[in-house]
Amino acid sequence: MENKKISYLSNAVEFLEDEINNQDVEAFYRACITQLSKNERLEKPQLRNFYSGKEKSEKTYGNYMDKLIHLLEKFQEEIQSRNAELTLAKRPIIKTHVGGGSGNPTYYYIDFEDWETPPSFNQNAGLQKTETISHDIIYRTKTLKRTPWYLKLTAKLFARTKHRQFFLFFVLIFFIVAPVALGFLIQMLPLTYWTLLVLSYFVLFYPAWNIIKLATQKIALIEHIFQPVGAVCISKVKNVKDSDSFLDIEREILSVVVDATCPICFHKYNLKDSVQLESQSLFNRRIIGKCLNNPKEHRFTFDKDLMTGNPLNT
Ligand SMILES: [Zn+2]
């Protein structure tokens, strides 16, 4: 359990890289975790020793720790899926012990908590070579280093149903009205301006198309030259307020890279992480997991809510 909790927290910081979005703070977290693995407690006045960037106030270091604790809580499911092979029975968390006056400093320590959602991953994780192969596969997620700009924008507008409806309305107008408007404008505008408008229409076409896919299918592949293969954007349920009304669901947009270990290739060659997400074919845009070693035969379904899949027969 001792080493595992440190691996769990280190992996968590790696996963949260994009959320932290500051190299100094990331290094600070790593140093704090190392310190916590050596000592049982990390006192607040000590925190300054672990920050290598420009010196900050003690309060700021405390705020950094609060932020880490918050992020570990917020992304616990994603972090858990990334740490399935650790088979932890409980979730490691960082806790704050608030010190009183008279020289008792506030300190941080690692504790364990029950999983909010019992990890179905953990029971299946760590495929045993000697046992019969379970063909079910478990997907893992990793946040995207560079989230496309239009998804960052959409994320803000996508949370509430009402905002979503308004936003989609405008995206649809873009598809229907813009081409018609461009047709009229060709007679009225000088060709240079018109060409610029047409170009911007085509630049915006793919983002708008992806947003519509995200709204209707709740998942879209991010196929871009600068993005890693298997990058997807998922419209994830954040909060169901009224279980009777399907429309009143709070959602959040998650841009992640997804991979998995192909059970067949792991069993035969000890090959890991060979499964990537792709469209099933040019004509069937269903998103499935394909094994790089055998993309025609080793194919798996992809369930974005369970982050698992089964072998695909067709
Ligand atoms: Zn395979």
* Residue 291 Cα to ligand 1 middle (Å): 5
* Residue 236 Cα to ligand 1 middle (Å): 28
Same domain, 100 and 183: no
Give me the pLDDT at residue 243, please.
62
* Residue 274 Cα to ligand 1 middle (Å): 7
* Residue 231 Cα to ligand 1 middle (Å): 19
Give me the pLDDT at residue 242, please.
67
Q: pTM of this prediction?
A: 0.56
* Residue 76 Cα to ligand 1 middle (Å): 29
d(CA 19, CA 64): 12
Q: How many domains does the chain have?
A: 2
What are the beta bridge partners of residue 113?
Answer: 91
Position 292 pLDDT exceeds 90:
yes
What range defines the domain where residue 52 resides?
A: 2-126
Give me the pLDDT at residue 121, please.
45
* Residue 166 Cα to ligand 1 middle (Å): 43
Same domain, 102 and 213: no
Distances (CA, A) of 285 to 66, 282, 300: 42, 7, 14
d(CA 39, CA 35): 6
Q: According to the 3-state scheme, what is the secondary structure of 93-144?
A: EEEEECCCCCCCCCEEEEEEECCCCCCHHHHHCCCCCCCCCCCCEEEEEEEC
Considering the domain boundaries, does residue 142 fall inside one?
Answer: no
What number is the average pLDDT over the span 199-225? Answer: 86
Considering the domain boundaries, does residue 99 fall inside one?
Answer: yes
Tens of pLDDT, residue by residue over 40-78, are 788 888 888 888 888 888 889 989 989 999 888 888 877
Considering the domain boundaries, does residue 133 fall inside one?
Answer: no
Residue tagged 């959320």 (tokens): 19
d(CA 136, CA 281): 22
Same domain, 285 and 209: yes
Tens of pLDDT, residue by residue over 264-290, are 998 888 888 899 999 988 888 899 999
Same domain, 174 and 285: yes
* Residue 229 Cα to ligand 1 middle (Å): 17
Task: Supply the mean pLDDT for the chain.
Answer: 82
d(CA 31, CA 10): 10
